[in-house]
Amino acid sequence: MSKQKKPFIPYIFGAVIGFINGFFGGGGGMVAVPLLEKAYSYKEKNAHATSIAIILPVSVVSAIVYLVGTDIKWDVLGACSAGVFAGGLLGAVLLKKSNNALIGYLFCLVMAVAGVKMIF
Amino acid sequence: MKYVWIFLTGIAGGLLGGMGMGGGTLLIPALTLFFGLDQSLSQAINLVAFIPMATGAIIVHAKNKLIKTEGLIPIAACALAVSVGASFLEQIVNGVLQKKIFGIFLCLLALYQFFTLQKGGNSTENAKFAKKKKPHGKRNCL
């Protein structure tokens, strides 16, 4: 059952998710999943699946804006996209076999280092 | 040779994404920092690269009836509308400032991820690290 009492809540969620995904070119899913879990009491798998259903059309629309306004290097885009697809399949297989918490902490560390490097 | 490295970087990003950790948040800085790509281009690549994988995932999730509709329409509609404006804003900001803002965003995400892991849960939950409550009234009195 939804615990939502205010009708404008989903629109605020949508605005936050859309802004993050559009302005940063990604990251909307990382916000969408916990929002769906906490505000709508979604189970983890449902939150993940539903977040992709939200993020996919958002990413398509944002991608169009970026492709029109940015000088695209199509060769780089192609090579990277192929890698992402292959990695995604592998990641889905590894998901069940790995120590996710350890990888999670490592991910935090790498994100923080990359973040600091980008700021300075 | 450059394409091999870019392909491998894509694999790393896709791997993290496939494991539910938001691979784009590392793919974008990798493309910007290691390959010297423009921040906008890195973000555009991440957005485009996400689409085929997400399409496949959606088909599987829909078949398994994992997609729920509660809240979906208003959230998605508003997200779509705002993302257009946000994407145009990014095109205006761009460059060095965009890179720095993205860096701040990454640091905030890292903090959020760290505290979520400390609590022992979220999309990368590992049962071993979750804090378990002891059942009441089951002390072993020898």
A21 has pLDDT over 90:
yes
What is the average pLDDT across B68-97?
93
B140 has pLDDT over 60:
no
Cβ contacts below 8 Å, chain A against chain B, sum to 374
* Separation between Cα atoms, residue A72 and residue A80, nearest integer Å: 13
What is the average pLDDT across B108-116?
87
Contact criterion met (CB below 8 Å) for B27 and B9:
yes
pLDDT score recorded for residue A16? 95
Summarised one tens digit per residue, pLDDT across range A85-102 is 998 888 777 766 666 677
Give the least confident one: B59-63, B96-100, B105-109, B118-122: B118-122
pLDDT score recorded for residue B57? 85
Backbone angles phi, psi at A72, to 5 degrees: -85, 135
pTM of the entire structure? 0.82
pLDDT score recorded for residue B121? 55
For A42, name the nearest residue in chain B, comparing CA atoms only.
B68
Banded model confidence at residue A14, pLDDT cuts 50, 70, 90: very high
Q: Which chain B residues are closer than 8 Å to A44 by Cβ?
A: 123, 125
- Residue scoring higher pLDDT (B121 or B102): B102
* Separation between Cα atoms, residue A32 and residue A52, nearest integer Å: 9
pLDDT score recorded for residue B127? 39
ipTM field: 0.85
pLDDT score recorded for residue B125? 44
Summarised one tens digit per residue, pLDDT across range B113-125 is 888 888 875 444 4
Summarised one tens digit per residue, pLDDT across range B50-81 is 998 888 889 988 998 889 998 899 999 999 99
For A96, name the nearest residue in chain B, comparing CA atoms only.
B19
Banded model confidence at residue B37, pLDDT cuts 50, 70, 90: very high
For A74, name the nearest residue in chain B, comparing CA atoms only.
B45
Mutate to test the interface with A, among B68, B75, B112, B129 (most CBs of A within 10 A): B75
pLDDT score recorded for residue B124? 45
Task: Please report, rounded to a whole number, the percentage of residues in chain B having pLDDT higher than 70.
Answer: 82
Residues in chain A: 120
Contact criterion met (CB below 8 Å) for A70 and B41:
yes
Give the mean pLDDT of chain B. 82
Contact (CB<8Å) A23/B77: no
Give the least confident one: A2-6, A67-71, B97-101, B110-114: A2-6
* Separation between Cα atoms, residue A35 and residue A45, nearest integer Å: 13
pLDDT score recorded for residue A64? 95
Of A22, A70, A95, the CB nearest to B18: A95
* Separation between Cα atoms, residue B63 and residue B47, nearest integer Å: 24
pLDDT score recorded for residue B123? 45
Residue A6 Cα, gap to closest chain B Cα (Å): 12
Give the mean pLDDT of chain A. 86
A31 has pLDDT over 70:
yes
Q: Which chain B residues are closer than 8 Å to A118 by Cβ?
A: 29, 32-33, 99-100, 102-103, 106
**What are the structure tokens assigned to A80, written together?**
């990277």
For B123, name the nearest residue in chain A, comparing CA atoms only.
A44
Which residue from A32, A117, A30 is spatially nearest to B46, judged by alpha carbons?
A30
